[in-house]
Structures are given as structure tokens and as C-alpha cells.
């Protein structure tokens, strides 16, 4: 009988915070814990007692991390602390679950020739999710640098972006989804990176129509500029006009920047004849399930995404979804009959599609559930990831010889 592999995952914040970058790990963790010796190092000053109690077969550690803009404060000290935890766990592979560039480069150097290392990318470092990508990574970066971006962001990108071509050809990056794979291949056709098999990391809920809809529409996000909040007011007014009545809207999540906080405040406080908003904040799973089950249609006019967990969660409750026609839509959802995509920034068409899907919700629900059922299974997710990590370990062992 072969010995279990030792896996050390490093994530940002507590696992129980339900962040998007840990959704895949959380989904398959119980199965992973049965088939491998799993340790998790959470970069936070808080002990994750909830996860410790939930996952008894997993060893949890934590270390505080501090950022100044995109830079990790006292990086060398943190890398030294991480190395101590690595020595304690003695893993076969270290998996960084989020694309923090300081840690990608730092851990690559720290672990070279010692332990297999990989970093999971949920977006393209320095670029995120370009709407109309050219073939040149450097041209895209220069485009970003020419835009109105925060000074700390501009300075960090300018200082580090030239490191990316070497890193993407070093076999340490993992594309978490089909969108990131598309971007990587577009910018670096001959690059050597790994790919996680695409999976929805949530189970479908067959009882999605038990509760009568209380909210016509629902929107959910970790809100920042680009996540669609900036278009909601116009979209909701147009929807209301087309329906000829005031609509009820549920919003879940939190605003992470000043721009989004202002937009969210306007939506919540809006006193008009078009829509009323109920804001639930950053919700737990129980509240999220309640709101989704009582909503008619999920609207998500985001332009800054790759494989949005929130869309998959809406689909898991049988909701139809309206999106802009973006690369992440084409890479992941093009064939899902309960998802409609409209031309970018065409408010009238988006609203028209939302009204159409709302009226056909009962007929479309099973397509949403079918997509989730066919693309999500915790056993399969764990199996595929274990196979991927095994391949990375063997690759590392071969080049080490």
C-alpha cells in the first residue's frame, strides 16, 4: 500500500472566512484529508477554531501577515516563519492557494531544490481579467499603467511585472480555471504551467423552488470597481420600467473600496419608484441559501472575473443568470441554457434579458442545477487535485535527479 502524500496548503485569512480563493480547497477537503496528510497554514493572526473543529484530520497553523499596498511587510521575516512551519510539516509539496506575487517569488527561491512548490492563480498576475486582450503581456501591462490606478498598485506593477515571463515558464503556476488558462496561453503560447480540471465547488440544491420568490432579483459579490455594482442602478431602473412595477432586490456581500461603498450606499438608500434593496452584508451559508432560494433571477454585470463562485452558487439554487458577454462567460458558461450574456455595457439589452429570464425561471431552473451537478463532485475534485499534485511532485523529483 502506497504511503499518503504530505500536502501543505497556504491561504490568506481563515479557511472559515469562505473566501473565493479557498472554495475549491474547502469543497474537497474532507476527501483530501482521508487520502493525504493535509496541513493548512492560514496567513492571519487569528486561530481558525471553526475549521479546526470541522476538519479533524487536518493540521492547522496560522501566521500573521501585513500588507502595504500589494507588498508584504517584512517579507524576509515572514518567509522565515513560513519555512519553520514547512520544516515542521515536512510536506512533499507546498501549495500557495492565492497569487500573492511577493510570496510566489519568495517561496520559489526559498524552496528551490528542496521541496516541490506551486502557486494557484485565480487571475492573471498584474492584469486580472482584461476585457479585450492583445497577444502582448507587456502591452497589456503598459495599458494598465496608463490608466487611473492607485499609486501603490502602479508602482508595484512597474517594479515586478517583468518577473512574470520567467515565472510562468518555471512550472510552478497552476491555472485555477479555464479563463486563466486562456489568458496564459494567449500571452505566452509556449509557457509551461499546470491546469486544475474545471469544477464547480458547490453541490446543487434540488429543493430550489420550495420557497416562493420574495426578491425579484439578487446580486452578490465581494464588491470593488469592475464587479458590476456601478451598473446596477441603471439596470434596475430599466428592468422596473419594462415590468411596469417596482421591483425588490436582494444584495449580499461587502464593498472593499471607497468607490463601491459609495455606490452601494446609494442603492440601499435609494428612495424611488423603481426598486427597493434589502442588503444582507457578508452572509453565512444559511442566510445565503435563504436569500438565493427566495430570489427569482441572479444579475451579475461584472467585467472583472474569471470563474465567479457567486455565479455558481446562484446556479446551485436553480437561478437563471444574466452576465455581460465577457471572456469568463465564453470560457465557462457559453453552453448553459439558463445563463444569458448580453453585449458589454448595453443596459437596455441586459435589462430585457433579465426580465425574460425572470419570467421563465421555473422552466430554466433545471438547466442551472444540471450544470452544477455535472461539474461539481467533492470526491472527483479531490481525486483530480491529488492527481495533479502527484504529477507536480514527480516532475520536481525528476528534475532534481
Burial of 349 (0-12, 13-18, 19+ CB in 10 A): middle
Q: Which domains does the chain have, with CATH numbers?
A: 6-199+377-400 (3.40.50.2000), 215-375 (3.40.50.2000)
388 in Cβ contact with 95 (< 8 Å):
no
Distance CA 228, CA 299 (A): 9
pLDDT average, residue stretch 99-126: 97
pLDDT digits (tens, 9 = 90+) for 291-310: 999 999 999 999 999 999 99
What does 246-264 look like in DSSP terms, one character per residue?
-EEEEEEEEE-SHHHHHHH
All cell numbers assigned to 390: 502527484
Which pLDDT score is estimated for 2? 62
Identify the band that residue 7 occupies on the pLDDT scale cut at 50, 70 and 90.
Answer: very high
Identify the band that residue 207 occupies on the pLDDT scale cut at 50, 70 and 90.
Answer: low
pLDDT average, residue stretch 22-47: 97
pLDDT at residue 329 above 90? yes
Distance CA 381, CA 197 (A): 8
Phi, psi of 282 (to 5 degrees): -80, 110
How does the average pLDDT of the chain come out, rounded? 95
pLDDT at residue 285 above 90? no
pLDDT at residue 271 above 90? no
pLDDT digits (tens, 9 = 90+) for 224-237: 989 999 999 999 99
pLDDT at residue 210 above 70? no
pLDDT digits (tens, 9 = 90+) for 331-349: 999 999 999 999 999 999 9
Distance CA 312, CA 381 (A): 15
pLDDT at residue 150 above 70? yes
pLDDT at residue 34 above 90? yes
The Cβ of residue 354 has, within 10 Å, a number of other Cβ atoms equal to: 29
pLDDT average, residue stretch 191-203: 94
The alpha carbon of residue 192 and the mean position of all alpha carbons in its chain are separated, in whole angstroms, by 22
pLDDT average, residue stretch 116-145: 96
Which pLDDT score is estimated for 1? 40
Distance CA 185, CA 142 (A): 19
For the entire predicted model, the pTM comes to: 0.93
Flag the least confident range among 1-15, 131-145, 221-235. 1-15
pLDDT at residue 276 above 90? yes
Which pLDDT score is estimated for 268? 93
pLDDT at residue 130 above 80? yes
Residue in the block written with cell 486580472: 128
Distance CA 330, CA 333 (A): 6
Residue in the block written with cell 411596469: 244
pLDDT digits (tens, 9 = 90+) for 238-257: 999 999 999 999 999 999 88
Which pLDDT score is estimated for 257? 86
- What residues contact residue 379 under an 8 Å CB cut-off, 6+ apart? 28, 31
Quick one: what percent of the chain has pLDDT higher than 90? 91
Which pLDDT score is estimated for 211? 55
pLDDT at residue 266 above 70? yes
Amino acid at each position: 500500500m502506497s504511503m499518503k502524500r504530505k500536502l501543505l496548503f497556504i491561504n490568506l485569512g481563515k479557511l472559515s472566512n469562505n473566501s473565493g480563493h479557498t472554495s475549491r480547497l474547502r469543497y474537497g477537503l474532507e476527501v483530501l484529508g482521508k487520502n493525504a496528510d493535509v496541513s493548512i497554514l492560514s496567513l492571519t493572526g487569528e486561530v481558525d477554531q471553526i475549521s479546526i473543529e470541522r476538519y479533524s484530520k487536518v493540521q492547522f497553523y496560522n501566521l500573521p501577515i501585513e500588507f502595504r499596498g500589494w507588498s508584504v511587510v517584512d517579507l524576509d521575516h515572514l518567509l522565515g516563519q513560513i519555512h519553520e512551519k514547512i520544516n515542521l510539516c515536512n510536506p512533499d509539496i507546498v501549495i500557495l492557494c492565492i497569487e500573492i506575487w511577493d510570496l510566489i517569488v519568495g517561496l520559489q527561491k526559498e524552496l528551490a531544490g528542496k521541496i516541490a512548490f506551486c502557486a494557484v492563480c485565480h487571475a492573471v498576475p498584474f492584469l486580472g481579467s482584461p476585457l479585450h486582450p492583445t497577444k502582448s503581456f507587456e502591452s497589456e501591462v503598459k495599458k494598465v499603467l496608463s490608466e487611473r490606478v492607485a499609486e501603490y498598485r502602479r508602482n508595484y506593477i512597474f517594479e515586478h511585472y517583468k518577473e512574470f515571463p520567467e515565472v510562468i515558464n518555471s512550472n510552478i503556476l497552476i491555472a485555477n480555471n479555464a479563463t486563466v488558462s486562456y489568458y496564459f496561453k494567449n500571452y505566452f503560447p509556449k509557457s509551461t504551467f499546470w491546469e486544475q480540471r474545471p469544477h464547480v465547488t458547490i453541490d446543487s440544491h434540488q429543493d430550489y423552488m420550495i420557497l416562493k420568490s420574495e426578491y425579484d432579483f439578487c446580486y452578490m459579490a465581494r464588491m470593488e470597481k469592475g464587479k458590476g455594482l456601478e451598473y446596477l442602478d441603471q439596470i434596475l431602473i430599466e428592468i422596473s420600467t419594462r415590468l411596469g412595477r417596482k421591483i425588490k432586490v436582494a444584495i449580499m456581500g461587502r464593498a472593499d473600496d471607497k468607490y463601491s461603498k459609495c455606490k452601494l450606499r446609494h442603492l440601499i438608500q435609494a428612495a424611488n419608484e423603481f426598486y427597493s434593496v434589502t442588503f444582507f452584508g457578508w452572509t453565512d451559508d444559511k442566510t445565503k441559501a435563504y436569500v438565493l432560494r427566495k430570489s427569482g433571477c441572479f444579475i451579475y454585470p461584472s467585467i472583472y472575473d474569471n470563474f465567479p463562485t457567486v455565479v455558481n452558487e446562484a446556479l446551485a439554487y436553480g437561478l437563471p443568470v444574466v452576465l455581460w458577454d465577457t471572456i469568463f462567460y465564453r470560457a465557462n458558461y457559453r453552453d448553459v441554457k439558463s445563463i444569458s450574456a448580453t453585449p458589454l455595457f448595453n443596459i437596455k439589452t441586459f435589462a430585457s434579458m433579465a426580465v425574460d429570464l425572470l419570467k421563465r425561471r421555473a422552466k430554466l431552473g433545471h438547466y442551472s442545477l444540471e450544470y452544477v451537478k455535472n461539474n461539481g463532485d467533492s470526491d472527483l475534485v479531490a481525486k483530480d487535485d491529488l492527481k495533479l499534485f502527484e504529477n507536480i511532485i514527480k516532475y520536481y523529483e525528476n528534475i532534481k535527479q
